[in-house]
Amino acid sequence: MEIDRSVAIVTGASSGIGAATARLLAGRGARVVLAARRADRLEALVAELPGAMAVPTDVTDPAQLGHLVERCLDVHGRVDILVNNAGQGLHVPILELRADDLRAVFELNVIAPLVAMQAVVPSMRAQGGGAIVNVSSATSLRLFPGLGGYSATKAALNLLSQIGRIEFADSRVAISVVYPSVTETEFHQSLRAGHFADGPRRFPADPPELVATTIAFAIESGEAHLMVGDPPRPVVPGSDDPWAGGLARPMPARPAWGGGTAAQTAPPDQGAAT
């Protein structure tokens, strides 16, 4: 998907990765539609970016998400790009993980991107295509004690994205997933519960602009899975890539009925007949 002259909705645009992505896309000629709850932050960004508009939105409210997409369609007549970026951390060990906190973060990190995808895909299909980028986390691809709740929400987002990518392929709507590592934003100060791991970090935090560059690459390339980096690194499920083991793989093609293997995999009634 070409970014120049496209119309792009970015959620969580009031800070961090979302704000950096909005700046980058607007700089490359997109008309950006900025969504988050803090209207003052969005308005400040709109003042910086030509062609931008703000639609204050709590993405956990499906009615507000519907309104966001309607406003975009009313003003621009189309939506080419959706960046599902709004999200929150929940960094507590399993025994301390409160159900209410997990439900709230699940609403934000999983249900909201799902509802947003459902809201834009009909228009994208009618236009002949579109690009959706879901911002996940590298923590969903490896096991990090203390991050079970947060990582579970992002793993759920990964699967919705992977399956949606297959379901939407015939309408040229590409779903990509970007997996940031630790990034220098307000994220670690606004966790739903818990705290960032103590002690020295093994590597420095990425700047949000680097994640934004990876999101732009996802839009342009349509790659399914991208680790953040310069250059961004595509990951193929089932490959030798050290991060690939955390990704679900497609079902293998069903072997032909009648052979030895097929007899074992066929439904019992058909298997018995061979």
Ligand X SMILES: NC(=O)c1ccc[n+]([C@@H]2O[C@H](COP(=O)([O-])OP(=O)(O)OC[C@H]3O[C@@H](n4cnc5c(N)ncnc54)[C@H](OP(=O)(O)O)[C@@H]3O)[C@@H](O)[C@H]2O)c1
Per-residue buried b or exposed e for 46-57, using 16+ beta carbons within 10 Å of the residue's own CB: beebeebbbbbb
Interface with ligand X, residue 16, by CB under 6 A: yes
Annotated catalytic residue: which of 12, 22, 91, 150? 150
Stretch that binds ligand X, among 124-132, 184-192, 230-238, 245-253 (CB under 6 A): 184-192
Q: Give the binding-site size for ligand X (rule: CB under 6 A).
A: 30
Interface with ligand X, residue 106, by CB under 6 A: no
Distance (Å, whole) CA 219 – CA 96: 38
Contact (CB, 8 A) for 200 and 101: no
**Given the complex with ligand X, which of 60 and 123 has the nearer CB atom?**
60
Interface with ligand X, residue 186, by CB under 6 A: yes
Any idea how long the chain is?
Answer: 274
Interface with ligand X, residue 17, by CB under 6 A: yes
Residue 196 CB, shortest distance to ligand X, in Å, is 8
Tell me how far CA of residue 227 lies from CA of 26, 167, 169, 258, in angstroms: 23, 23, 22, 42
- Beta-strand relationship, 7-11 and 31-35: parallel
**Given the complex with ligand X, which of 16 and 146 has the nearer CB atom?**
16
Residue from 149, 180, 232, 246 in contact with ligand X (CB under 6 A): 180
Stretch that binds ligand X, among 15-23, 91-99, 124-132, 246-254 (CB under 6 A): 15-23
Interface with ligand X, residue 135, by CB under 6 A: yes
150 noted as active-site residue = yes
Residue 134 CB, shortest distance to ligand X, in Å, is 9
Interface with ligand X, residue 71, by CB under 6 A: no
Residue 67 CB, shortest distance to ligand X, in Å, is 13
Distance (Å, whole) CA 130 – CA 63: 22
Tell me how far CA of residue 20 lies from CA of 80, 107, 135, 208, in angstroms: 19, 24, 13, 6
Interface with ligand X, residue 156, by CB under 6 A: no
**208: part of which helix (H) or strand (E)?**
helix 208-221
Distance (Å, whole) CA 226 – CA 202: 21
Q: Which of residues 109-128 bind ligand X (CB under 6 A)?
A: none
Angle at alpha carbon of residue 157, lines to 182 and 67, rounded to 5°: 105
Residue 37 CB, shortest distance to ligand X, in Å, is 3
Report the amino acid identity of residue 12: G
Judged by the rule CB under 6 A, the positions of this chain that interact with ligand X are 11-12, 14-18, 36-38, 41, 57-60, 85-88, 108, 135, 137, 180, 182-183, 185-187, 190, 208
| Catalytic residue ranges | 150
